[in-house]
Structure 1
Amino acid sequence: MRTLLLFFTCLFAAQLISCSSSKMDNVQRGIDYNYKSGYPEFRSSVFGFVEENEGPVLEITTDIVKGSLVYGSKGETDSLSADVAVDIQITDLNGEQNIGSKRITRQVVTGDESITHSREVLSIPYQLQVKPGNYEVSVTVRDLNSKQKLTQTSKAYIPGAKQNDYTLSEVQLFGKENGDNTWSQISGYHVSNAIDSLRFVFQVISPQPDTPLTLDTRLVSFASDTGLPRAITRNNYSSSSIEYKGIDFDQTTEIQSTRRVLSDYGSVFVEYKFANQNRGNYRFEVTAAKENDNDEEIFKGRSFGIKSKNFPAVESVRELARPLYYLMGRGDHEELMAISDTDSLKQAMDRFWLKNIGNKREAQQVIEQYYTRVEEANKRFSNFKEGWKTDRGMVYILFGEPFHTRDRLRQLVWYYSYNTEDPRYRFFFEQPKLNNQFFPFDHYVLNRNNNYYNIVYTQRGLWLNGQILQRQI
């Protein structure tokens, strides 16, 4: 009896794991910008669908940040130009087609010298007719002026459907800003809070069926850490806290759910619209099933996270005020953020910097260096919250790039001294969960210690008196 009970327990657990795994395999979260200082910054997205007249199509979109390119003078004019090449390599994972590659070149010409700070993107679309199947798409963006290149790889699946059968494409996410009538595709996980409305689009792929199809959709939010990190010198987080876990997919809140029945359909696109949400982590889910046939349910999902308005940049006064938390005491920072008037908040921030540094020109250099690190932290360490709020982001902003790093399974060590045995200048980060299909984030928690008090105090002093311009630590 005991053996039989154990057998059924294991069988039940295996079914749960299999079901969960199957669902997670069908959840998309997009691909965000590859970031490496001095390299072109871009993200690519791949969407497989069925065109009514042309059949299966791969739609590949490459969005390149114009400000990440290297510009040179164009002829004898005052114009600046950047040249970029996009190499697309498509592989049929089933080995049935020899697809080859495609190169697309573009030139950006402008008379605006501030283009090097622009977050505007150059969008390059490409479509290719293919057969149903599994595909791997590698997109390489090469800056033809700097000769630097980066590559992103993603996968796409275009299923085939027989008569009276059906399936679903992946879910696409679009956003629209207030007052703008144009929907822009959001190919990554991170969504700016400037977006006013969200739109989810997927395709029901099917020849003309004879059975109605029920679509159940819902938008859910997950319990997650979106707040400021605990100070380096305070106690460590408990393993049960949301700050330690980062995000808890078992704690969900249903925001909205709908049911739609399609009675006369072929390969059609279906869309759902929502108002943008508060900062946090969300998933749009769709479950499709023929009436009275729950055994053939198909599940698709699109996860996303709402970040700050100008993410990954920090531009508004309030966005610039928040990261000062690392240079101020908690009480002073709470008092600063309590200022509701924008002009008064800006004046308080100016007084903070000039009071400590005095020299206006020097203060401007320090401020520029500080917020450069904040933006870089957003690009390098963002997961379920902005990168500057993560433990790695906090250490990076205060201390900069480590002299040496050691990366082992579930442990990362940053050294800020050539003496790797000096405990004051090394920071241990623990990874509570490995990045996998069930937890698709790089989440590291700092091992906090009171012994860091003196080095943190000294480092704050370097920022506040301007000496950070001469020495980093």
Structure 2
Amino acid sequence: MAGCYKLFINNRINIFLVLLLILGGSMPVLAQDSPEFDVDVVSLQPDASGEGTRLDVYTRVPLSNMRFLNTPDGFTATYQVSLDVIRLDENGKRANLVQSPIWDRTVRVASYADTQADNRFDYTTQSLSLDPGDYVFEFQIEDRSSSESYVSDLSVEVKDFQRQIAVSDVLLLKDFDSATNTIYPNVAPRVGSESSPLRIFYELYGTPGDQVKVTRDIVLIGEVSNDQGNTGSASVVYSDEEDATLGARRNQHIVNLPTPELQVGRYAAVVKVESIDGRILDISQKKFTVEWNGLLAHINNLEDAVQQMAYIAKKRDLARIMEPATESGRLARFKEYWEKRDPTPGTVRNERMEEYYYRVSFANQKYSSLQDGWKTDRGQVVVLFGEPDMIEKHPYNFSVKPYEIWYYYSIGRRFIFVDQSGLGDYRLLRPVWDETTWLR
């Protein structure tokens, strides 16, 4: 099949990979918060003739991170994926390099606009065989035209499938084509808040005729369930179970888990296999994050996000956003507010909203102490004007309290912050004679 790659799990279901290009759907790629590429690794039982554990390795690279060259048949980019598989010892320290596979990709698109799209990706897959244990997978992706590289590390626990009945790792699915029995992995461990149902794939292993009880949970995690099936401080938000009779050595399952209005947060999809008398035989889980569709990854609480608009929105606008009784209603009005201020309507990204909440995030990281950084005087200036062109710091002086002067040359502004308490609580000095220091 031209332009695609199929990995056959068996004669019943294939994993469709890349591919000329798959639209990213509901998950936006945002420059400030999204990684340069996503990876996922899934442990599966090997074929009857195989040894060790089979690992399927997936990558997802945004087209916007590639350098495309104009060619007679459109635009072409090439990149190389390098992977170092490092075994960890019993103390969790790196012991030895066990494999170093390398694979190359060529991506072709028809138009220049395709090369700049934030919601288009190239996907790859590779299969490895490893002994059970703990590993670190070190990925490097190098653009062959620009020589620019991106790196990412992933801790991987390779499962042991020697037990009589076992379950594979859980794979999140982006889509499933029932006509061709083709599954599309959702390589990024992120799903949109309006994505329902949550679709997962897993395999059950055993002897034909084995009877088991399978429980599938969606868990809002404090602590994810352990090998004994305990969820600790986690909260189960959805659960179903079924009694099953295994019909083959390898039993593949695609399951839709209803997730209406799943709240933003960190979750795990947990598959637990028990004997009919209630003994836990195996358990597997996949952690993922639920994010608001079309919004930034670091906006994880709507009420906080609305409060953080205090520097730019009128009180009546904030009250209107928070007026609906349901979170979905409040979210709709929140989106409506920002859509009216989108400098590029009709596109995936809202650059104005991105920049504003990037500044809020930066202020929180930089200036939080007893209160959130965006609420401090320095945080307020960052949110309104961005990072300064220059900061003149005067931390130590016997006759003068510590102070900083922030300069914004492009807009002709400066701001003076004084630490009156000596505890790092810098307050904005507002001399009435100096208009360049006024916030409004």
Is 1:46 matched with 2:29? Answer: no
The 5 Å alignment of 1:218-229 reads 218-221=217-220
Which residue is equivalent to 1:125?
A: 125
Find the residue that maps to 1:170 and give its secondary structure. coil
Q: Distance between the aligned counterparts of 2:34 and 2:193, measured in 1?
A: 26
Q: Which residue of 2 aligns with 1:307?
A: 291
Kindly provide the CA deviation profile for residues 170-228 of structure 1, in whole angstroms up to 9, marking residues without a partner as x. Answer: 21112349xx997542233321235332112222234x2775332222223469xxxxx
Indicate conservation of the 8 Å contact 1:175/1:195, yes or no.
no
**1:46 deviation in Å?**
0.8
Partner of 2:16: none
- Compute the RMSD of aligned alpha carbons: 5.4
Which residue of the other structure, out of 59, 64, 68, is the alignment partner of 1:62?
59
Q: What is the correspondence of 1:129-140 to structure 2 with a 5 Å cutoff?
A: 129-140=129-140
CA distance in 2, matches of 1:308, 1:82: 31
Cα 1:377/1:49, change in 2 over 3 Å: farther
Cα distance per residue 1:110-133 (max 9 Å; x no partner): 423363242211111122344555
Displacement of 1:151 in angstroms is 1.4
Q: Deviations over 1:65-115 (max 9, x none)?
A: 1112234x425x694443322112234557899433223232344423363
What TM-score comes out, normalization by structure 2 length? Answer: 0.59
SS in 1 for 2:64: helix
Inter-CA distance 307–284: structure 2 relative to 1 (3 Å threshold): same
Aligned: 1:422 with 2:423:
no
Which has the larger strand fraction? Answer: 2
Partner residue in 2 for 1:434: none
Residues 362-409 of structure 1: CA deviation (Å, up to 9, x unaligned): xxxxx9863342575799999xxxxxxx957895654545889xxxxx
Match of 2:237 in 1: 254
TM-score relative to the length of structure 1: 0.56
Distance (Å, rounded) in 2 between the aligned partners of 1:117 and 1:173: 24
Q: Deviations over 1:205-259 (max 9, x none)?
A: 34x2775332222223469xxxxxxxxxxxxxxxxxxxxxxxx973625333323
Identical pairs, percent: 13
Post-superposition CA distance 1:252-278 (Å, at most 9, x none)? 253333233435552323343123342
- Provide closer, same or farther for how the CA distance between residues 214 and 346 of structure 1 changes in structure 2, counting only shifts above 3 A: closer
Residue type of the alignment partner of 1:170: D
Matching of residues 14-33 of structure 1 within 5 Å = none
Give the whole-Å Cα distance in 2 for the aligned partners of 1:146 and 1:264. 51
1:84 to 59, 79, 83: 79
Which residues of structure 1 form unaligned runs of 5+?
1-31, 224-247, 354-359, 362-366, 383-389, 405-415, 428-446, 466-473
Contact 1:35-1:380 at 8 Å conserved across structures: no
Does structure 1 residue 290 correspond to structure 2 residue 275? yes
**How many residue pairs were aligned?**
346
Q: Distance in 2 between matches of 1:58 and 1:193?
A: 29
* Structure 2 residue corresponding to 1:74, chosen from 56, 70, 76: 70
Conserved in 1, the CA contact under 8 Å of 2:82 and 2:101?
Answer: yes
Unpaired runs of 5+ residues, structure 2, are: 1-26, 90-94, 223-230, 365-370, 396-401, 405-415
Greater RCO structure (CA 8 Å; 6+ sep): 1
CA distance in 2, matches of 1:255, 1:38: 29
TM superposition shift of 1:152: 1.5
Matches within 5 A, 1:245-284: 250=233, 252-262=235-245, 264-278=247-261, 279-281=263-265, 282-284=267-269
Letter in 2 for 1:301: Q
Q: How does 1:238-249 map to 2 (within 5 A)?
A: none
